[in-house]
């Protein structure tokens, strides 16, 4: 992947992080060629939650799955 492609992947990661309003830290790993998301809200297990995916759509889907699995929406919005 060239430098322009790497920059585009970083921008996609930044956009996903912005969409999630601070609930996740999202990075593009140029060495791994994967997107990485680190949950940063207090209802995740003590060991934390880290997700990786090769494309942004899969990453976002996995993030939503983990949010439901750990009752994030109830914590964030006070409802299930």
- Say what the pTM is: 0.85
pLDDT at 9: 96
pLDDT at residue 76 greater than cutoff 80: no
pLDDT at 79: 58
Side by side, which strands form the sheet with 24-29?
24-29, 34-39, 50-53
> In terms of pLDDT, which residue wins out, 56 or 75?
56
pLDDT at residue 59 greater than cutoff 70: yes
Helix (H) or strand (E) holding 36: strand 34-39
């Amino acid at each position: 992947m060239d430098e322009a492609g790497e920059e585009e992947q970083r921008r996609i990661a930044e956009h996903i992080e912005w969409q999630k309003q601070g609930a996740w830290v999202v990075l593009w790993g140029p060495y791994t060629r994967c997107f990485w998301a680190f949950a940063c809200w207090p209802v995740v297990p003590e060991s934390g939650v880290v997700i990786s995916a090769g494309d942004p759509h899969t990453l976002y889907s996995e993030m939503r799955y983990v949010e439901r699995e750990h009752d994030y929406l109830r914590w964030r919005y006070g409802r299930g």
